[in-house]
Structure 1
Amino acid sequence: MKTRLYFPIIISLLVMATSVFTACSDSDNPLNDTTKPVIDLKSPTEGQTLAIGSEHGVHFEMDLSDDVMLKSYKIEIHSNFDHHSHDTRAAETTVDFAFNRAFDVSEQKTAHIHHHDILIPANATPGDYHLMVYCTDAAGNEAHVARNIVLSATGGEDGNHEE
């Protein structure tokens, strides 16, 4: 008699457990996400010259997207020269410019980024630099984009763009 009573309960529990574990599709589960996010960096462009000392900041614009969920992006700028120089100025007149900042874009599948947060100080060393953008999704997949840029004291973008 007890066996007949327990059998329907056990079957019911198995059916409920199976439905709970199969209710979420693989595409909705961040742990099954193996697709990297997509970065569409619009500005700065490859080889663009940026103005040193501009008070407006660098015009930075991109679109981010992921098939499940974004988490964050990071912008990094570092020098791309070997410090070999024929410059007659004193060594302390300029400093290698570096920028490294992360931004949160959690809970979004797409994000349009537009800001002027990168300020290049007046004492930045002119020359070739790398601009790197990294984007991580909620599952930890990372994509990156690299640009070669030039910092110049005599010209380049001043950051005056339409908002």
Structure 2
Amino acid sequence: MKITSLTIGAALLSLMFISCSGNEDEIDTQPPSISMDFAEASPAQCAVFQRGETLPFEAQFTDNFELGSYSLDIHHNFDHHTHSTEVNDCQMDDKKAPINPWLVIEGYSIPSGQNSFRASEELEIPEDIDPGDYHFMIKLTDKEGWQTIRGISIQIN
């Protein structure tokens, strides 16, 4: 009886190892990507927008496994700090202290199971904000938590 129990136990244990080793999941080690390399992409580096108008956002997101979510962060750059991930620099206004700067921090979900997604939002620029230099930050996170950030400098008049 002991030999039969040992044999069955060993067979079950072997079967478990065999079944587990054949189904190893790939590990996601790559961050997602943000593409702005198409005609409708917005905003472009150094783009100028007007208070009281709409700022269109359009970007293409991809990931090797599955996308998670994205967020948009718009904040003033009156002190000339930098987050830019773009190659070219923009003409900037003189440094100044903010009085009523525009601030946007919004998160958006991406439908489950997507490894490609075209993001599109319309952001209303308030009429009463300080004009000047702003940063438009796009933060994209995949399902595993890898994040990519794209920083674009814009001007609001």
TM range (shorter): 0.7 to 0.9
* More helix per residue: 1
Number of equivalenced pairs:
137
Q: Out of 98, 104, 108, which is 1:99 matched to? A: 104
Aligned to 1:159: none
TM-score, L = length of structure 2 = 0.79
1:11 aligned to 2:16?
Answer: no
- Cα deviation, 1:62-101, whole Å, max 9, x if unaligned, reads 111111111100000000013627xxxxx9xx62001110
Aligned 1:1-163 pairs, distance under 5 A? 2-27=1-26, 32-41=27-36, 42-54=41-53, 57-82=54-79, 84=96, 95-105=100-110, 106-116=112-122, 118-152=123-157
Give the partner amino acid of 1:84: K
Shift of 1:25: 3.3
SS at match of 1:19: helix
TM-score, L = length of structure 1 = 0.76
Aligned Cα root-mean-square deviation (Å)? 1.9
Shift of 1:110: 1.0
Shift of 1:14: 1.3
Unaligned runs of 5+ in 1: 86-90, 153-163
Unaligned runs of 5+ in 2: 80-94
Runs of 4+ in 1 over 2 A off after TM superposition: 19-26, 82-85
Give the partner amino acid of 1:53: G
SS at match of 1:144: strand
- Which has the higher Rg, Structure 1 or Structure 2? 1
Task: Provide the C-alpha distance between the structure 2 equivalents of 1:3 and 1:113, rounded to a whole number of angstroms.
Answer: 63
SS at match of 1:18: helix
